[in-house]
Amino acid sequence: MCSYSGPTTPSYRLMLLLLVFLIASVHQATGEKYIDKSGYLKWNLGSNVLQGAQDRLEFRFRYCNNKGVLIYQQGEGRNFFALGVNNERLYIEASINQLAVEMYVGENVGRNQTHDVTITGLRTLNDQTRVIINGISYTPEILTDVDVSLDFSSSMLIGETQIGGYESIDQLRLNTQRLKAYPITCITFIRAGPTDIDLDSPSSQLGVSDQCIVCLPPSLVTLTRTDSFLRMRVDNSPRSNTVISLKFRTKAPDGLLFYFGGPAYVALYLEGGALVLRLNTRGSGSDTKYKTTRATFNDGEMQEVSVTRTGNTATLRDGAGNIIAQVIFGGSQNTAQALNAERLYVGGFEPAVLGGLSSDIEVTQSFRGCLEELRFASYSAVESAPTQVNFENQNIGSSYVDFSACLESASCQSYACTGEGQQCSLGVCECIHGYGVRSQNPLVCYNIDDCSPNPCQNGAQCTDKIADYNCTCTDRYKGKNCSVIRNCYDFPCLNGAECIELDTPTPSAAGRNCSCAPGYKGVDCGQDCDECNEQCNSGMCVNSISCENSIGDFICECKVGYEGKDCSSVIDYCKDNPCGTGTCNSFLTGYNCTCPDDPDGAVKDRQSCGPLAVVNPIQISPAALVAILVCLVILLILVIVFVAFRRQYQQKKKTMYGYGNGPDFEESRENIMKYEEEGYGEEDQDAYDVNLIKSVGDTLKQRKPEDRSKYPTLPLGEAADVGDFIHGRLGDAEKDTNDGAIDEMTPFGDEGQGSLAGSLSSLNSSSSDGDQNYDYLHDWGPRFSKLADMFNDGESDD
Ligand SMILES: *[C@@H]1O[C@H](CO)[C@@H](O)[C@H](O)[C@H]1NC(C)=O
Ligand SMILES: *[C@@H]1O[C@H](CO)[C@@H](O)[C@H](O)[C@H]1NC(C)=O
Ligand SMILES: *[C@@H]1O[C@H](CO)[C@@H](O)[C@H](O)[C@H]1NC(C)=O
Ligand SMILES: *[C@@H]1O[C@H](CO)[C@@H](O)[C@H](O)[C@H]1NC(C)=O
Ligand SMILES: *[C@@H]1O[C@H](CO)[C@@H](O)[C@H](O)[C@H]1NC(C)=O
Ligand SMILES: [Ca+2]
Ligand SMILES: [Ca+2]
């Protein structure tokens, strides 16, 4: 269970830890070994240190470079067994009774990490072989298909054993390159079968120390100019033996790699891409030199070389230790010659010494490119392995160098590569990809015409670019070379849909994807989508009263409170902030305001937060105001015109027919009917006297029921015979003697009666008025006497 963590667990762990520590310290006692590059531990024939390893081989180790031999057992004839690392995997190579075995036995063997390895079943070297690395078990990846039987105690594998490297590549029988390199390793212990190998007492060793150090990052330097150099501080005691190794990357064919010594020296440089090794151990006379036949050391790849000088012999080796050049100075090989150790120049000569030194050396310009992992050893009697020299910390003079990285594009003099299409690359200017060389010295590059021959097909137009071209295809074609028919051309999408080309070997409807315009559906967007009944890319009617579908479209009639093409949005009546300082509450049907002057909303349904005094003021828009004014003006004009016309008419009548009499009688009556303010006869002094009209109404209301009975009333809901009613009313009016007029006709019947002033009417309301006398008007004053005259004149005219 998860909760199981009883008191036994920690103590168990502690015990385990103690055990591991004990084992570790036991192994430490046997002596961990750091074996530098070029170093090795070696046991002679008959030592049989790997006896029992065919059943179980255990070791703990760390390494620093990408490949190399860890354990090498030489056997009789061509038999051998080798175990090492290659690209972070454990690798075994063996040859047993003329059968070659190659296999990877484990993964995740990273550099600069300590690994615990247990290999079982080495006896068969097949899938029975198992490896456990840091607790993880791996089955082998067997590259060969053979059955062998391996036994480290049998005579077939009796021979020398080398661990952590090898004395000489010549002693190795390796079939492949996978392990051919000197590793830098730290070996804590090796146990073959039940027995630990005593690492303290090999038959011979080189470059081995008792203390493991962590892997040093490789020291590197970029030399950027033909006069760059580094002068390194090294042991300056003259000694008879020297080892110098380094890695380099350049494209420049010429340049000094190193010069060690004074008048007596060993030197290595590039000349025309080949390596030249020179040696002079006397300090005078002509030196001896060897130039490699291989002239591709300036191919821009990483090259690893080492020069070992022993007395008057110098040997140049590649990274695996293969000899590629050797020179012997003088006659006697046995004469130990101590080189003057005052100088180690790397990459170039110091300007001050140029000419003074090395008159034999043809190449005096500097190496340009990257140098890595310089190793140096100088010794007399006991061999010592070269150790890494730090370019940055161990130089005593330098110029035009960069210690940060391998700066491929910085390794040319700044003015050198400025022409069109040029770049600096590991020491040389070159034409960039897509440019051709028009001329060397000075370098001129030109843009290669990528349209010739024309790669564009089907009438497409070609545009040249740098290391590329662009075909402008006609409508029907697509592709880099316009050689492919577009699906969208032969199978277009309909109704304005966007057509997306898909990749198909042949043109087909499946080779395009139609992205339909709103309102359409179907693979080619040829169908209308019914927004009233299905989900469409144009939306669907929601919250609608009605929906009407049409081709490519639809019309929704929204429910109250909704808007939008598909009625999906709720109308926000508050969006224009109609409440101003108040809070607006929007509902489906409208909005109301909660105003600061009425936070509790006592006054309901306020549409704005103006002053409360005017609740629902009648709003008159300016247009309405203008309309009313215009109406008033028209009315005024009409009145004026009417009055004027009437004046004129009366004048006319007076002259033509005599006053108030003649054939025009009926016409006069009509006018009366329109001229209603006359209705109350001479008692109405002010036209439109509202009080007067009101009083009539009041009089009517105040009538007692019995009074009312005297007047016929129109029974409610029995307004059938209005004609009869009016007729009866007329009759009543004639009989009636006092009381105010109550309908349109009676005023004319009453006209003139009860009025001191008599009738002001200029018309004859009835023939009975004919004998009227207007003399009393004279009593009203001069103005009225004229009136009186007028009327009397009219009478007399009759
Ligand atoms: C190796 O690991 C140590 C720490 O364990 C680190 O300091 C060192 O830089 C590493 N070396 C390389 C080459 O990565
Ligand atoms: C275009 O044409 C070039 C030259 O004819 C050919 O090398 C290339 O493979 C073609 N590319 C395609 C995508 O067809
Ligand atoms: C290449 O041609 C296509 C048309 O085929 C054009 O859209 C594009 O811009 C061109 N690119 C260049 C770099 O000329
Ligand atoms: C077509 O396009 C749509 C959206 O752009 C995508 O979901 C669909 O997978 C595409 N169909 C194919 C066959 O590529
Ligand atoms: C606004 O209207 C809602 C719903 O009709 C009502 O509940 C609320 O009292 C009203 N508020 C005001 C301030 O009129
Ligand atoms: Ca081009
Ligand atoms: Ca539709």
60 alpha carbon, distance to own chain's centre: 47
Residue 725 host element (H or E): helix 722-735
Band (pLDDT 50/70/90 cuts) for residue 52 is very high
Domains in the chain, ordered, with CATH? 23-209 (2.60.120.200), 220-410 (2.60.120.200), 572-607 (no CATH), 661-797 (no CATH)
How far is residue 677's CA from residue 123's CA, in Å, rounded to a whole number?
A: 141
Supply the mean pLDDT for the chain.
81
| pLDDT score at 584 | 93
CA-closest residue to ligand 4 atom 8: 513
**Between 756 and 654, whose confidence is greater?**
654
Q: Cβ neighbours of residue 254 under 8 Å, at least 6 residues apart?
A: 269, 270, 271, 272, 363, 365
How far is residue 757's CA from residue 410's CA, in Å, rounded to a whole number?
A: 129
Alpha helices in 408-500 (DSSP H): 487-490
Band (pLDDT 50/70/90 cuts) for residue 792 is low
CB 238 within 8 A of CB 348: no
Q: What is the pLDDT of residues 296-324, one digit of tens each?
A: 999 999 999 999 998 889 999 999 999 99
Q: Percent of the chain beyond pLDDT 90?
A: 54
Contacts 24+ apart (CB under 8 A), 464-473: 465/434, 466/421, 466/432, 466/433, 466/434, 466/435, 467/433, 467/434, 468/434
pLDDT at 719 over 80: no
C-beta of 479 in contact with ligand 5 (< 6 A): no
C-beta of 572 in contact with ligand 5 (< 6 A): no
| pLDDT score at 725 | 44
C-beta of 610 in contact with ligand 2 (< 6 A): no
| pLDDT score at 742 | 44
Q: Percent of the chain beyond pLDDT 70?
A: 74
Q: Which atom of ligand 3 lies closest to the CA of 472? A: 5
| pLDDT score at 613 | 57
Task: Give me the residue label for tokens 């090294």.
Answer: 234
C-beta of 470 in contact with ligand 3 (< 6 A): yes
CB 378 within 8 A of CB 241: yes
Q: What is the pLDDT of residues 112-124, one digit of tens each?
A: 999 999 999 999 9
CB 487 within 8 A of CB 501: yes
CA-closest residue to ligand 3 atom 11: 470
Q: What is the pLDDT of residues 627-652, one digit of tens each?
A: 778 778 778 888 777 777 677 767 76
* Ligand 2 pocket test target in 449, 478, 481 with most atoms within 8 Å of CB: 481
| pLDDT score at 637 | 82
Positive or negative, the CA dihedral 439, 445, 447, 448 is: positive
| pLDDT score at 697 | 42
Task: Give me the residue label for tokens 């000075």.
Answer: 442
Q: Cβ neighbours of residue 197 under 8 Å, at least 6 residues apart?
A: 49, 50, 163, 189, 190, 191
| pLDDT score at 457 | 96
How far is residue 273's CA from residue 94's CA, in Å, rounded to a whole number?
A: 37
CA of 546 to the centre of ligand 5 (A): 30
How many other C-beta atoms are found inside a 10 Å radius of the C-beta of residue 662? 14
| pLDDT score at 780 | 55
CA-closest residue to ligand 4 atom 10: 513
Strands (E), 319-421: 323-328, 344-346, 369-379, 387-388, 395-399, 401-402
CA-closest residue to ligand 3 atom 13: 470
* Ligand 5 pocket test target in 574, 592, 595 with most atoms within 8 Å of CB: 592
How far is residue 484's CA from residue 476's CA, in Å, rounded to a whole number?
A: 8
| pLDDT score at 166 | 95
C-beta of 470 in contact with ligand 2 (< 6 A): no
CA of 410 to the centre of ligand 6 (A): 26
214 alpha carbon, distance to own chain's centre: 42
CA of 456 to the centre of ligand 2 (A): 8
> For 370-375, what is the mean pLDDT?
96
How far is residue 787's CA from residue 798's CA, in Å, rounded to a whole number?
A: 17
CA-closest residue to ligand 4 atom 12: 513
Q: What is the pLDDT of residues 124-172, one digit of tens each?
A: 999 999 999 999 999 999 999 999 999 999 888 989 999 999 999 999 9
How far is residue 581's CA from residue 591's CA, in Å, rounded to a whole number?
A: 15
Most confident among 265-279, 317-331, 671-685, 738-752 (mean pLDDT): 265-279
| pLDDT score at 335 | 58
> For 402-420, what is the mean pLDDT?
87
CA of 299 to the centre of ligand 2 (A): 30
* Ligand 2 pocket test target in 449, 451, 462, 480 with most atoms within 8 Å of CB: 480
**Between 636 and 341, whose confidence is greater?**
636
**Between 101 and 658, whose confidence is greater?**
101
CA of 539 to the centre of ligand 7 (A): 10
Least Cα distance to 763 among 687, 665, 689 occurs for 665
| pLDDT score at 667 | 44
Q: What is the pLDDT of residues 179-202, one digit of tens each?
A: 999 999 999 999 999 999 999 999
CA-closest residue to ligand 3 atom 5: 472
CB 778 within 8 A of CB 771: no
CA-closest residue to ligand 2 atom 6: 455
Predicted TM-score of the model (pTM): 0.60
How many other C-beta atoms are found inside a 10 Å radius of the C-beta of residue 736? 17
Q: Which atom of ligand 3 lies closest to the CA of 471? A: 5
CA-closest residue to ligand 1 atom 10: 215
Band (pLDDT 50/70/90 cuts) for residue 271 is very high
Ligand 6 ion: nearby residues, β-carbon < 5 Å: 447-448, 450, 464
| pLDDT score at 441 | 84
| pLDDT score at 653 | 60
> For 767-794, what is the mean pLDDT?
52
> For 579-598, what is the mean pLDDT?
91
The ligand minimizing its distance to the Cα of 475 is: 3
Band (pLDDT 50/70/90 cuts) for residue 438 is very high
CA-closest residue to ligand 1 atom 4: 214
HEC sequence for 11-68? HHHHHHHHHHHHHHHHHHHHCCEEEEEEEEEEECCCCCCCCCCCCEEEEEEEECCCEE
pLDDT at 10 over 80: no
CB 34 within 8 A of CB 388: no
Band (pLDDT 50/70/90 cuts) for residue 102 is very high
| pLDDT score at 748 | 42
Ligand 4 pocket list (CB less than 6 A): 502, 513, 515
C-beta of 481 in contact with ligand 3 (< 6 A): no
Band (pLDDT 50/70/90 cuts) for residue 612 is confident
pLDDT at 326 over 50: yes
Task: Give me the residue label for tokens 């993964």.
Answer: 107
**Between 614 and 530, whose confidence is greater?**
530
| pLDDT score at 403 | 96
CA distances from 792 to 422, 657, 771, 787, 798 (A): 130, 15, 10, 9, 10
C-beta of 472 in contact with ligand 3 (< 6 A): yes
User: Do the bridges between strand 303-310 and strand 220-223 make them parallel or antiparallel, or are there none, so unpaired?
Assistant: unpaired
pLDDT at 272 over 50: yes
User: Do the bridges between strand 288-291 and strand 395-399 make them parallel or antiparallel, or are there none, so unpaired?
Assistant: unpaired
The ligand minimizing its distance to the Cα of 579 is: 5
Ligand 1 pocket list (CB less than 6 A): 112, 214-215, 217
Lowest mean pLDDT among 27-31, 239-243, 686-690: 686-690
| pLDDT score at 756 | 46
| pLDDT score at 724 | 53
Q: What is the pLDDT of residues 519-531, one digit of tens each?
A: 999 999 999 999 9
C-beta of 480 in contact with ligand 2 (< 6 A): yes
CA of 511 to the centre of ligand 4 (A): 11
Q: What is the pLDDT of residues 351-360, one digit of tens each?
A: 888 766 766 7
The ligand minimizing its distance to the Cα of 212 is: 1
* Ligand 1 pocket test target in 37, 111, 214, 216 with most atoms within 8 Å of CB: 214
Q: What is the pLDDT of residues 439-473, one digit of tens each?
A: 988 899 999 999 999 999 999 999 999 999 999 99
